[in-house]
Each structure stands twice: as structure tokens, then as C-alpha cells.
Amino acid sequence: MTEPPGLGVSASAPTGSGSHDAVHGLRAELLSVIAEWDVVLPDPLEDDTPLISSGAFDSVALFNLVLWVEEKTGRCIDPASVDLLREWDSVTLILQYLGQSPTAVVPPVRLRPVKRPVKHLVQRTALRAARIQIVRYAAEHKPAVIELQKRLWSPDANLNLRYFDWKYAQNPYATKPIIYLALAHGEVVGMRGFYPSRWEAGFPMQLKDVLVADDLVLREDHRNEGLVTQIMREALDDLAETGTNDYIFNLSGGRLTVLSSFAMGWRSPGSLTPTGRISGSHLLRVALRRHLARLPFLWRYADADLLSRRHPFRHLDHCLGAFTTSTGVAVSIAADPRPFAMARLVASQPYDGRLRHVRDEDYFHWRFRSPLSEHRFFYVGEDPLDGYLVVRCANPEARVAPRVHIIDMEARDERAGSALLDAVIRAGRFDELVVWSESLRPQFRAMLGKLKFEPADQHLAPYGLPRILVRPIDDKRLADEWLIHGVRLLDLENWDMRMIYSMAG
């Protein structure tokens, strides 16, 4: 059999022409696609060479591997359902996983791991480590970070600068940025940021400061080099030495980030069940944009403002002020928050002991100044409030999808909650209105179905996205029970999780 160039053959399988040929054919295909992913690996690649625990498979390679396994098994792979380090860490283990899959295209077989030295991998890793330096952020790195984040935040450097200052320098819980950078020949080629947050949990209510991992980005020419693992490993070691935080959270990770996080010992209490309404006019405009994009000369109009609705608050802003719901309840719609009144309402509500972010006056003052977001506010009552609801869309300067999210809602009773939901639908007339249904109280969650909310982002649902991720900072605590003030972190029922707590809000 002809193998891909530079990749050795070492797998052994039970005899029998059918299973033997299928397994070796699958193995040859796996080796071939790994070669196409341009991963830094030893040559030749051995069947028991660590792929994930070594850090060789970065987030992009892990993503490609998941796609390949999905193709072979015929089903979506939720990363929470796989122990990546135990089940996928080598060619041998991946083939074993496929052989045990009930829908795999290969017969179930038992492969014997091949034990060979991986000195080539050690040499490659040493060379890479010598070329890359992981450092903690200092003020002189700021221009390079702003430029690098054009790949994640926005293409506008000035907007990125304002967001950086808001998030890391104006944060109410700490003003010294906690950011780890990857430098190649002195140039910033990768970044992982951690911003401080303050949470409430337990009976009696106690406070806990937690770092939130965010802002992961690599320069394109340094992907698939294990930098995600290298940056995160250095960050964890450094943070463990300070001893100021027990856990880190990730509240808005994408599929690539989630994959690499699971490979480093993160775990998840569950996903957050996006639910939404999509207008018929929006579906029509989407179909029209796709049609125009295929037509000669007219393709340039496919992204016209009239068809893309980049300013989703345009109609709502004509309704600012007093608004009366269909049941006659008066709702006030505003462009400005009322931090004191909102915090007072939150404090007046019964607390059930679940983990939730602090929502006090200082937090609201800071949170709604994010340069990457625009917010509008719905209020029932005056002082004190009977309820509030906050919607968010991306700053049009950031040039991202103009979806609107309900990021926070608090109400004294069903009357106020129903009025807020009625007002946001009737006054907003949004193309897309989405909420994490897990963030609402059961009585308000039941209203969503009556208001024609349906499951949203179904392409992400098989992967459990969006989801909460947690991890102890100190590796010694990975085997312990993960608790904050007696609240178990890996039980979704112990979380009062709202989008406002994450940078997605």
C-alpha cells in the first residue's frame, strides 16, 4: 500500500481481509488529511504520537479533525461527549473511536497501540518553543494588540482601542490588563485576554471574583503551531502562582475555542438554548441578497443597506418615549440606562442562591458603555421600577450581523414581564430577536412559545453551543469537586446565566 509521503505505517489490527483493509484504508486517509492540515508533527508520524496532549493539534486542527470524524460516523460530534485526551489523542485512539461508533463506516475492531519513541515530536516542540515567547502584556504592546484584534473585534483600529480601554482599563473590578501574548521575533502573533468579573453564589449570598477567558486570536501565519495551548498553559501557570483566583470561566467561546478548551481540561455545565423570532420580511431580504449576489453587474447591490438592515434600532428609535402594550400597560422605551433603578429592582427580588454575576449600579454604569455594542432599554414603572428589559445589537462600525438580543430582563411579576416582551416585539419590529431562554424565569420562558419564539441557531445545537465553560486555574484541583461557596459549577441548574454577563451581550 502506498502511504502519504513522510508518514510511516505502524498500526496493527486483527487479521481478516475485510476489517484489515477497511482499517488500514481509513488510517491512510487519516494520515493524509493530517498532512493537509499543515500541523507541526514528527516525520514520520507514529500511530501513538500524542496529537492533542502535546499541543500539536491547535484549535483549527481539532476543528478539522471533528469534521473528519463527523464525516466518517455520519453524526455531529458534541465535544462535551468526547474525552479528547483519552479517546482522540493519537491515530490509534482515533481509529479505535471510529471502530466503536455504532454508525461508523468501518467495522468495529480492536487495534493494538504501537509503542515507539516520539523524539522527533520533542525536537519539533523544542524548536517551536525557542521561536515563540509567551509574555504578559505591557503598555508598549498596546498598538500591536489593537492591530491584531482587527481579526476579532472590528476592522476599525480606533474602535478597537476604545473597546480595549473600556474592557481592560475601565473595568470596575480591576484596571490592570491581564493578557498573555505570543511573540515571534518580537512581533505579537497571538493573544489571550482575561477580564475580571464578580459573581454572587450560595446562602447566605457571598461574592467571588472570577477571571473570564476571552479575546483569543492568532495571526494567520501562526495557526496550527500549538500556540493556543502554549499561551493558555503559560497563563494558567502564571495565574496559579498569584493565587488570587480559583477558577476561570469562558462565557462566549465559539466552536474552535470550545474544542481547544476541552482538550485542556475545561468542562461545561451545559448549553444555553438560544430561542428567537425571525420576521418574514427578513427571510425575503436574505433570499433577495443571495439572488443578487449571483447576478452579473447586480451583485454589488447585494450588501446594500436597504437589504442588510445594518441599523436594527432604526424603527425602535422612532418609538422612544411612552409606549402602550396591547394589554394597556405603559412601557417607557429609552436609549439610556437607569443603573440605580435597575440595580435597586435586582436587589429587591428574592435570591435563590444560584451563581450569577453582580448587577449593581457600578456594573450597569460600566457594562452599557461597551463601544462594540448599542443598547436600548424598556421600563415598566417609574421609581421603583416594576421591570426592565435590555436589548443589544452590534455597533454598526463593527460590521457584523445586525441581530438583536435580549440580554437581560427583570420583572416583579408576570404582568410586568409580559408587558416588556410585548413591547420589545411590537415596538422593535426586529428582523431577528434572540434570547438565551435559560436566562429567563420559568413563567417568562413559557411566554416565549406564545410569542412565536422558536429554537435558534440550530446548526450549533448539536455541538451544545453556546455553552458555559469552567476550569480551576490550578491543575491540582482538576480532580476535585468544583464549587464556589458550596454551589456546584458543573450543574446548569445552579447557574442564573444571562447574556449580559458575557461579551456576547
Tens digit of pLDDT for each residue in 340-385? 999 999 999 999 999 999 999 999 999 999 999 999 999 999 889 9
What is the grid cell recorded at 504? 456576547
Q: What is the pLDDT of residue 310?
A: 60
* Higher-pLDDT residue of 306, 29: 29
Given a cut of 70, whether residue 500 has pLDDT beyond it is yes
Domains detected in the chain: 17-117 (1.10.1200.10), 130-271+467-498 (3.40.630.30), 274-463 (3.40.630)
**Secondary structure element (H or E) that encloses residue 241, with its range:** helix 227-242
Please tell me the pTM assigned to this model.
0.82
Mean pLDDT of 445-458: 86
Q: What does the alpha-carbon distance between residue 250 and residue 199 come to, in Å, rounded to a whole number?
A: 14
Mean pLDDT of 55-64: 80
Q: What does the alpha-carbon distance between residue 239 and residue 252 come to, in Å, rounded to a whole number?
A: 21
Place of cell 493539534: 57
In a 3-state reduction of DSSP, which class is residue 195? strand
Angle at 497 between CA 407 and CA 161, to 5 degrees: 55
In this structure, are residues 98 and 82 in contact, taking their beta carbons and an 8 Å threshold?
no
* Higher-pLDDT residue of 227, 247: 247
Render pLDDT for 404-451 as a digit per residue (tens, 0 to 9): 999 999 999 999 999 999 999 999 889 889 999 877 888 888 888 888
In this structure, are residues 296 and 418 in contact, taking their beta carbons and an 8 Å threshold?
no
List own/partner pairs for 94-101 with CB under 8 A and 24 or more apart: 94/30, 94/65, 94/69, 95/11, 95/23, 95/26, 95/27, 95/30, 97/69, 98/26, 98/69, 98/72, 98/73, 99/23, 101/72, 101/73
In this structure, are residues 191 and 153 in contact, taking their beta carbons and an 8 Å threshold?
no
Phi and psi at residue 50, in whole multiples of 5°?
-65, 125
User: Residue 422 to residues 283, 387, 428, 451: CA-CA distances in angstroms?
Assistant: 22, 13, 10, 8
- Assign 212 a pLDDT band (cuts: 50, 70, 90): very high
In a 3-state reduction of DSSP, which class is residue 387? strand
Place of cell 522527533: 120
Q: How many other CB atoms sit within 10 Å of the CB of residue 480?
A: 9
Counting residues of the chain whose pLDDT is more than 70, the rounded percentage is 83
- Assign 39 a pLDDT band (cuts: 50, 70, 90): confident
